[in-house]
Amino acid sequence: MEWGEFDKVIIVEGSSDRKKVASVLNEDVDIRCTNGTISLTKLDELVDELMERDVYLLFDADESGEK
């Protein structure tokens, strides 16, 4: 499946977070990484791209995650 074919999207901070989340899922989900703090431009692009899908945000409870 291509990224655009998933109904659900999970956004995490890094690739290790992506691997951990993927290891506990039992369905196909698009898991995206912000690679740290996300820029306002990138955030706007994601909003436009993912407007019609269910989006779940999973961030760490640290300074980067709070941003």
pLDDT digits (tens, 9 = 90+) for 36-56: 778 889 889 888 989 889 999
Return the pLDDT at 54.
93
SS (H, E, C) the chain: CCHHHCCEEEEECCHHHHHHHHHHCCCCCEEEECCCCCCHHHHHHHHHHHCCCEEEEECCCCHHHHC
Please give the pLDDT value at position 1: 43
Domains of the chain are 3-62 (3.40.1360.10)
In sequence order, the 6+-apart residues with CB closer than 8 A to the CB of 13 are 33, 34, 35, 36, 59, 60, 64, 65
pTM: 0.78
Residue 12: the pLDDT is 93
- Top pLDDT among 31 and 42 is at 31
